[in-house]
A and B are shown apart, each in its own frame.
Chain A
Amino acid sequence: MSDTKAEAPLLLLSSSPHIASPVGGRVIMAWVLAAIAPAAIFGVALFGIPALLNIVVSIAAAEFAEFAFRKITKQELRNGDLSAAVTGLLLALIIPPGLPLWMTALGSIFAIVVAKEFFGGLGANVFNPALIGRAFLLMSFPAAATTWQNPSFFGAVDAVGAATPLRIIKSGGSLSVLGDSYGAIVKTLFLGTHAGSIGESSIVLILLGFAVLLLKKIIDWRAPVVMTATVFAFSFLLGRDPLAAILSGGVVFGAVFMATDYVSAPVTATGKLIFGFGAGLITVLIRQWGNYPEGVSYGILIMNAATPFLNRLIQKKYGWVQPRKPAAADAAKAGAK
């Protein structure tokens, strides 16, 4: 026999592979938070303390709701995975900066409990929780959820309601309040220094987050790019200003942070393309003929429902061979007999 000391160590047994990528779920969520951060910080700078409070309350309510729900239903606690924080932050960024804090908290709790935990928690929800939270707020408190304010850098908040670019377009007005020339309007839209949600107005900072997520290979380019392109193309076909269409409202924010949501968007490449196209198309249709000035939320939520079907559009595997036709014909013949 060999040396008995060989038997001394307690050896681990498991199925291969025996090494794993250092990028776990938490790391991914942390990168998502980091990618959203610039837009969030800009939102605070633009709209002041109420925006900051809304962000803090939304994240805290989301984490607490997850903790409480899982504790009450005697499930394993998962607060460490940061996914509720992502939902809370996303929700805060797509609501008006002046929304009363208790409404924000309610929306956040609704998002986590109804849209996520009722389905089974992380990874099991069908719809994007943050968007469900926003839809809930829009239905329950229509006035408050559509009261916007003008930006004022670190200054006192202007409590007087202001019109967002989309509201102006919807009511047939001209965007010239944003700037004198077309170039100035586009610049204002691009930088985001206009009335709107806390975090979805500054296109340049959202694109910065997009670049981070792409570089870290956390998201795929397909859904965001196709969604934005679709909004651009269909706005053009409907005779709207296509550039203003993608720069105003939540198109870019939704495309980058919502249409790429792991859980509620398709996992397959083809599915992502169709998802982006569908979400973009529905957005334009709602903006054109719907009641709301903005359609991104519903565009993405409706496509979320299609995700299970889109996941069936799998790629052709390595060594894929065309099913043999004669055999199929034979089978059909045999069946006919």
Chain B
Amino acid sequence: MSKPLKQIHLAAHFPGVNNTTVWSDPEAGSHIEFSSFAHFARTAERAKFDFLFLAEGLRLREQGGEIYDLDVVGRPDTFTVLAALAAVTERLGLTGTINSTFNEPYEVARQFASLDHLSDGRAAWNVVTSWDAFTGENFRRGGFLPQEHRYSRAKEFLATVTELVDSWHGDEILADQATGAFLRDAKAGSFVHTGQHFDIHGQFNVPRSPQGRPVIFQAGDSDEGREFAAAGADAIFSRYATLDGGREFYADVKNRLAKYGRRKDQLLILPAASFVLADTDAEAEDLAKQVRRQQVSGATALKHLEFVWNRDLSGYDPEGPLPDIDPDLGESHIARGRAQVRMYRDPLATAREWRELAAARGWSIRDLVIETGNRQNFVGSPETVARTINEYVQADASDGFILVPHITPTGLDAFADQVVPLLQEQGVFRADYEGTTLRDHLGLAHPDSAGQDQRAAS
């Protein structure tokens, strides 16, 4: 007997500050006006997606000592946009990246608990960490955090937020107008947390929210990051959207769950994925090539090479060969505020490999960056894209995808109109929401029932 088909989870990432976003396209709209976010969210909800995802930035990126000006620059505040989106949607989950380094647990806990109340149970938190003094220059704390402490602070931050939102059990508010008892218990929300990073006590002032706790996403990829996710996250926002890379990551992370007493369905693996759609596969391939050239201008290609070379390469011709000189192996200084820089851990080897590849294929700098850069994950007709996504999910390369369109804010429309109905026909994607909360959409237990399981087991 064959395995029953897995149900696919789909979400949408509002395109933003990176060179995936093609801002030069005539169809590209505002990345700041609320109407863009509202359009994007309504499309995702029309398509019955699980949630909308917002990234975060806390300092404008710089390269060569100047603010980076080639990609979209600027974005609104995550919590504020999500709360406003709760007013123009009814079921769509609202997931925000919030940094655990330049915030305090009490404040983040009350923001997420408030968002969960104001959205009737649709809030989720993508927990990320930062340690760099560059970002810290915008905050009271500055750049105090040694890199090796970032996960210990993140773990304690998340644990503290959980203690805070769990400090109300849900039955404290009586609001009995006849007897005059508003609270059942004067100690509602009491907490004491003493740890390496936080030493706080008192009473939390937001009553228990519809989901009890926000859904927790985690995005780290290191061994520590994977353990952190296996121990306590509800979902992983991963970057392995290929079949083989996805299966390897999926198996690795899911196998870590048992030691924390968790089942494999208690942690969803959701890679970010881009797509290009056209009427036929051939047309989609052509369009995909055009999009890649729009994403990587000559100037962008040179800037990308600078992440590896750690030098000013502005004198090079992007349509010419790769630089002969070797990367500067000193402390990384040319690009600041970019996550990609850390992807190239051995710049000499990367430079050698790229030079050989470019020479063998006759690629210019720009060709090289286009060919080795982030490829579109799903390219083809709606039928091809729907079939491929389903194959990946059934093959355990993921539990679904967080789609990142390359056009703001209409880039999701064609997917919603053309791909989603095919997935629904195949019976692998919901025809309508079955529940009301994000936990319902993701098939996650309510933490209160899960907590009772744990208490019963211990």
Are A and B part of the same complex? no
Write the residues of chain A forming the contact surface with B, with a CB cutoff of 8 angstroms: none
Q: Which residues of B contact A (CB under 8 A)?
A: none
